[in-house]
Amino acid sequence: MAKLFRAAIMGPPGSGKGTISKRIAQSFGLQYLSSGHYLRESIAANTEAGVLVKTHVERGMLVPDHVMTRLMLPRLEQLNSHSWLLDGFPRTLSQALALNNLYQLDLVISLNIPYETLRERLSDRWIHPGSGRVYNMGFNPPQVQSKDDITGEPLIQHDDDKPEALMARLRHYKDVAKPVIDLYKSQGILHSFSGTETDRIWPYINSLLSTKMHTQPLDACQSQTP
């Protein structure tokens, strides 16, 4: 059996984690787990935990560590024989140490994107709530305005992409991410990418993963085109 590969992607809100993760999952066959997706699922379920999550997400605050680890770690246990990619978890040192107790990551991708680019992108981000499909009115617009390409259902904007919550999220991100980034740097598994365009960063990530996984991407021909 091929060696399992475990990776995480980090970066501030709007840095393109979701967009790049989907390309990685598609090209390299990793299972994709997004903290934001599971949090929104728990909010929609309206459980006691979901109500607590909602109050934090709406204010642009991080959800408490014990809630996050309880949400994410059991899902990884169900994927014991799969390679996976985590998006949005771990976000704090405490989450990273809890994950470290169970799994040794092979690779962590960190995205460094200028603040102004993040602000522009998020004010234009629209989501299909049922599937989590993400659109941007300039970068990847839906075929029909404000409608999901697959289902035709209306698109929405997350409350936490609106300006007040966004500022708070960006400010918190840097402080909280630093010790996590330092931890992965000290383990020799951190790879950072800077830029303002996902399409220019993607070929470098694609090539890094091809080397690290000792494999050609599943859609090598498509993803190599400039």
Ligand X SMILES: Nc1nc2c(ncn2[C@@H]2O[C@H](COP(=O)(O)OP(=O)(O)O)[C@@H](O)[C@H]2O)c(=O)[nH]1
Annotated binding residues, written as ranges, equal: 14-19, 35, 40, 61-63, 88-91, 95, 125, 134-135, 169, 198
In 131-145, which positions are buried (b, 16+ CB within 10 angstroms) versus exposed (e)?
A: eebbbbeeeeebeee
Cα separation of 189 and 177, whole Å?
A: 15
Residue closer to ligand ADP by CB (options 13, 142) is 13
Q: Is 6 in the site for ligand X (CB under 6 A)?
A: no
> Binding residues for ligand X, how many (CB under 6 A)?
18
Residues 6+ apart with CB under 8 A from 218: 26, 27, 28, 29
Closest among 74, 72, 42 to 55, alpha carbons compared: 42
Instruction: Give the β-pairing of 84-87 and 107-112.
Output: unpaired
Q: Which of 8, 19, 53, 180 binds ligand X (CB under 6 A)?
A: 19
Part in contact with ligand X (CB under 6 A); list of ranges 56-64, 137-145, 151-159, 215-223: 137-145
Instruction: Give the β-pairing of 134-136 and 125-127.
Output: antiparallel
Q: Could you say which of ligand X, ligand ADP, none residue 142 binds, taking C-beta under 5 to 8 angstroms by partner kind?
A: none
Residue closer to ligand ADP by CB (options 11, 142) is 11
Q: Which of 16, 88, 142, 217 binds ligand ADP (CB under 6 A)?
A: 88
**Strand blocks (E) in the chain:** 6-10, 31-34, 84-87, 107-112, 125-127, 134-136, 190-194
Q: Could you say which of ligand X, ligand ADP, none residue 68 binds, taking C-beta under 5 to 8 angstroms by partner kind?
A: ligand ADP
Report whether 91 contacts 35 (CB < 8 A): yes
Q: Is 164 in the site for ligand X (CB under 6 A)?
A: no
Report whether 16 contacts 111 (CB < 8 A): yes
Report whether 166 contacts 59 (CB < 8 A): no
Minimum CB separation from ligand X for residue 13, in Å?
5
Part in contact with ligand X (CB under 6 A); list of ranges 101-109, 149-157, 193-201, 204-212: 193-201
Q: Which two tokens stand for residue 83?
A: 């390679």
Q: Is 109 in the site for ligand ADP (CB under 6 A)?
A: no
Q: Residue numbers of the site for ligand X (CB under 6 A)?
A: 11, 13-19, 121, 125, 134, 136, 138-140, 197-199
Which residues make up the interface to ligand ADP (CB under 6 A)? 13-14, 17, 35-36, 39, 56-57, 60-63, 68, 88-89, 91, 95, 160, 169
